């Protein structure tokens, strides 16, 4: 975003920035490729082309130093700081990587000790201090000691989901729960129908707030209002994260374990409902925040959106006679999406939707979404400054 803003809001168009812009674009593209390789794989792998990409980013970063000094001498007051920020950020990354490289063995030993401790502590009735002393003594004598995983599949991953009507309907679609709770096909479709009804109510509330509440964004506000808005958006985001994560978990489990459901497509759609209601609510909340003029308004808006987000849980808790609530718990994924598996009809489409949602969730939503409440006013202020200069 800083790269795009630097290109849009530079004040002196007569300064040549073509080479530095290409360098910044290349280093960001290589960084995105590295993130994809290192963080979006089923296991961490440092391959040969990963080293080539990393070395290329270092070379480009070094080549950007003379370009920065050239831009500074030419009087670039906007693009030059952007280039400097890219240089400094990547230099810090390289220093951190060097520190990690030289302390890797020590950290690996600590992780090894901690894994052994957790395994032994769960299976033995012994004090923590005594067990840690025994492990440290064993590791000092035999540093190459390995962990016995009891032939447990490392791909197994248990993920706990929260209790809401979406998750209740989701567990109700499972074959095992249908047999356990004596559910009929009509009961399963009734759960799905009610979940869809709650989804439409949440969506309607958000759309009404967005289109018919007469929002008038205010981009110049007092400092205390900006601080209150940021923290109310941040707190709401932290409240939303578990539900959004539940939606991602539900979609993935329905994709790779579709044989456990009577209607796998319906189970996948329930996960999409849980994820997109949170996404829409946060977007509308961020837009709504731009119209707040007092701290009280910011806090009141937070409470209102919190009620909208909690509608599925409130609706589920209003049903005293809903036995399927007791089935809500953990989902254990025992296979990967890329593994050889029997695929449901339309697997390609479901996989595409999940990958898009997962990339967005991990790269944008999880970390950076609350900052939109301050980015929007910043962009508007930059537009005003540039128009005054021109």
Q: Higher model confidence: residue 203 or residue 295?
A: 203
Nearest Cα neighbor of 252 from 169, 335, 168 is: 335
Distances (CA, A) of 234 to 155, 278, 285: 33, 14, 11
Q: Higher model confidence: residue 315 or residue 46?
A: 315
Q: Higher model confidence: residue 302 or residue 181?
A: 181
Segment 55-68, tens digit of pLDDT: 898 898 898 898 88
d(CA 310, CA 278): 10
Distances (CA, A) of 262 to 169, 185, 213: 12, 9, 42
pLDDT at 300: 79
Q: Higher model confidence: residue 126 or residue 87?
A: 87
Residue 153's pLDDT band, with cuts at 50, 70 and 90, is: very low
Residue 152's pLDDT band, with cuts at 50, 70 and 90, is: very low
Nearest Cα neighbor of 4 from 357, 375, 286, 362 is: 375
Residue 43's pLDDT band, with cuts at 50, 70 and 90, is: low
d(CA 385, CA 27): 29
d(CA 267, CA 334): 18
Average pLDDT estimate for 339-345: 79
- How many C-beta atoms lie closer than 10 Å to residue 35's C-beta? 12
d(CA 277, CA 283): 10
pLDDT at 225: 75
pLDDT over 70 (residue 216): no
pLDDT over 90 (residue 71): no
What are the DSSP calls for 114-148, one per residue?
A: HHHHHHHHHHS---HHHHHHHHHHHHHH-TT----
Q: Higher model confidence: residue 28 or residue 293?
A: 28
pLDDT at 373: 74
Among the residue ranges 39-48, 176-185, 258-267, the one predicted with the least confidence is 39-48
Query: Is residue 139 within 8 Å of residue 109, measured between CB atoms?
Result: yes
pTM for the model? 0.69
pLDDT over 50 (residue 72): yes
Q: Higher model confidence: residue 106 or residue 56?
A: 56
Percent of the chain with pLDDT over 90: 22
pLDDT over 50 (residue 217): yes
């Amino acid at each position: 975003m800083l790269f795009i803003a630097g290109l849009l809001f530079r004040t002196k168009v007569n300064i040549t920035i073509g080479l530095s812009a290409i360098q910044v674009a290349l280093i960001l593209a290589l960084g995105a490729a590295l993130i994809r390789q290192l963080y979006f794989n089923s296991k961490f792998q440092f391959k040969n082309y990963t080293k080539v990409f990393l070395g290329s980013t270092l070379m480009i970063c070094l080549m950007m130093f003379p370009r920065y000094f050239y831009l500074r001498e030419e009087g670039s007051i906007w693009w030059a700081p952007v280039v400097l920020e890219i240089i400094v950020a990547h230099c810090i990354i390289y220093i951190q990587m060097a520190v990690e490289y030289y302390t890797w063995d020590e950290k690996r030993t600590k992780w090894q000790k901690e894994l052994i401790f957790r395994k032994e502590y769960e299976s033995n009735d012994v004090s923590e201090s005594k067990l840690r002393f025994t492990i440290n003594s064993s590791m000092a004598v035999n540093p190459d000691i390995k962990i016995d995983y009891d032939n447990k599949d490392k791909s197994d991953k248990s993920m706990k989901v929260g209790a809401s009507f979406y998750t209740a309907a989701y567990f109700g679609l499972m074959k095992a729960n249908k047999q356990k709770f004596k559910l009929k096909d009509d009961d399963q479709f009734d759960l799905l129908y009610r979940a869809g009804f709650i989804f439409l109510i949440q969506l309607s509330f958000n759309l009404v707030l967005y289109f018919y509440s007469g929002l008038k964004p205010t981009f110049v506000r007092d400092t205390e209002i900006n601080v209150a808005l940021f923290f109310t958006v941040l707190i709401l985001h932290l409240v939303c994260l578990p539900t959004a994560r539940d939606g991602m978990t539900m979609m993935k489990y329905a994709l790779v374990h579709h044989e456990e459901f009577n209607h796998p497509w319906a189970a996948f759609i329930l996960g999409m409902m849980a994820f997109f209601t949170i996404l829409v609510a946060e977007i509308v909340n961020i837009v709504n925040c731009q119209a707040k003029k007092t701290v009280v308004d910011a806090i009141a808006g937070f409470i209102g959106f919190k009620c909208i987000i909690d509608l599925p849980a409130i609706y589920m808790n209003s049903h005293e006679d809903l036995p399927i609530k007791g089935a809500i718990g953990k989902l254990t994924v025992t296979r990967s999406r890329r593994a050889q598996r029997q695929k449901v009809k339309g697997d390609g489409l479901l996989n595409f939707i999940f990958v898009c949602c997962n990339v967005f969730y991990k790269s944008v939503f999880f970390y950076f979404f609350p900052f939109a409440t301050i980015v929007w006013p910043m962009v508007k202020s930059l537009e005003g400054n540039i128009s005054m200069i021109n």
